[in-house]
A and B are shown apart, each in its own frame.
Chain A
């Protein structure tokens, strides 16, 4: 293929969309859910994760993820993007400029790490978080991205993940779960949202950005890109409605936060399947994503008492895994020539998804455990009790989110 201007236009815009998903969308989505005394710290955790991971992506992350044909990890051919010129086509998608492919994928690496922050809010040391972003991106995200998207062993096996159900949502969800358990519960382990309207804006901007995340993962301006963006939106509004309805039945109140949470659950769940399924399957995936994530957030978390503060595991981790499994059932050959089990496919496809989910899950859990252990030994994971109860904004950053006149 040749460099295709339309494809480049679409992916450059998609890149901006995914960037917007971190700053401000995820930052204010998480910030709005955080207690008012620590809202800035939460926003900053998302922001610095984006900065740090973007830098190491250029330094060695892109190279480790997308160069060479190693089964486990790439090589260092593109260290600091050496030898790449702006006009070169990307080896992985030669309709796109190499720079654009690197740039687009950079926003995925960055938001994956930033997503984890939601499980650690209101109590993690800022220095510990900075070290975690480096280690976790290096030892979890880059290898897993290589396995599935960079020509590694899962790609060769046939495990499918269109836009990051495994690479983004399962890894960040499980990293968040492991980290939250090792970090321990907050002293005030309840969710007291500083601003639900901020969460509403964040939800809308994440939804908007997801057009670039899922649509852009077609890596060109194709029918698949349109279909992916469309089914993504369908899963989002179905997910929001279903979660709200479940809360209404179970807790007698249709909460706004339930509606927003269901939208995100629908979006996360459709992500791995978005380029392979049609609109009917989009509805089913949105529905099941909301139901299963609701169960994970309301019942599983309560049963096991871990403090996954903003439900990164319950929404993203669980949604990503469910979607990666459902794609093996619901993929329709007319969309991208992948046959799900319900459309004439074989059990082999399902098996490849199960292997992918289990391998990525086990690897992420073990590596995350080691990384959090190391950082705990190096600088300690938690702020002191006084800082935690006063709020991290003033103690860590010397700022307050809102000034009172008196």
Chain B
């Protein structure tokens, strides 16, 4: 099992979610996060005084899938989230040791 974490532009969330549903993904966790990469921060202006905001708002999507599905899901996310402009975000993939569905006690791939 693998966990895919994608940090994307907030306005791309609906597109990515739609694409994942189309690809057969039945659940995901989403959180509002802040961060920066090559895009760096941006400036705000109050009465002519600049205020540099280092961290930009992003959305992080977490999906746990079977190992054989990883490539397909990552491609789906990358295609849906891409605008081609700086700040599109990143996708991280990592191993998952165990999954438990709290309601039934099912484990691992049955619980995904």
Q: Complex Cα distance A191/B46, Å?
A: 6
Known A261-B47, A302-B49; further 8 A-B contacts with Cβ < 8 A? A191-B46, A251-B45, A253-B45, A255-B45, A258-B47, A297-B47, A298-B48, A302-B48
Interface centre among B45, B48, B51 (most CB of A within 10 A): B48
Q: Which residue of B lies closest to A299 (CB)?
A: B48
Q: Is the CB of A297 within 8 A of B45?
A: no
Query: For chain A, what secondary structure do more than half of its interface residues adopt (helix, strand, loop), or is it mixed?
Result: helix
Interface centre among A191, A193, A261, A311 (most CB of B within 10 A): A191
Q: Is the CB of A251 within 8 A of B51?
A: no
Q: Complex Cα distance A311/B51, Å?
A: 17
Q: Mark B14-58, 1 if CB is under 8 A from A, else 0.
A: 000000000000000000000000000000011111010000000
Q: Mark B51-75, 1 if CB is under 8 A from A, else 0.
A: 1000000000000000000000000
Q: Complex Cα distance A261/B48, Å?
A: 12
Per the 8 Å Cβ criterion, residues 189-246 of A in contact with B are 190-193
16 A-B residue contacts at CB 8 Å? A190-B46, A191-B51, A193-B46, A247-B45, A247-B48, A250-B48, A251-B45, A253-B45, A255-B46, A257-B46, A258-B47, A297-B47, A297-B48, A298-B47, A298-B48, A302-B48
Q: Count the B residues whose beta carbon is within 8 Å of the partner chain — how many?
A: 6
Q: Which residue of A lies closest to B52 (CB)?
A: A190
Number of interchain pairs (Cβ within 8 Å): 29
Q: What A residues does B49 contact at CB under 8 A?
A: 190-191, 302
For the complex of A and B, 3 pairs with smallest distance between CB atoms: A298-B48, A191-B46, A190-B51
Smallest CB separation, B57 vs chain A (Å): 16
Q: Is the CB of A192 within 8 A of B51?
A: yes
Q: Is the CB of A192 within 8 A of B45?
A: no
Q: What A residues does B47 contact at CB under 8 A?
A: 191, 257-258, 261, 297-298, 311
Q: What A residues does B45 contact at CB under 8 A?
A: 247, 251, 253, 255
Q: Which residue of A lies closest to B48 (CB)?
A: A298
Q: What A residues does B48 contact at CB under 8 A?
A: 247, 250-251, 297-298, 302
Q: Complex Cα distance A321/B19, Å?
A: 62
Smallest CB separation, A29 vs chain B (Å): 14
Per the 8 Å Cβ criterion, residues 230-283 of A in contact with B are 247, 250-251, 253, 255, 257-258, 261
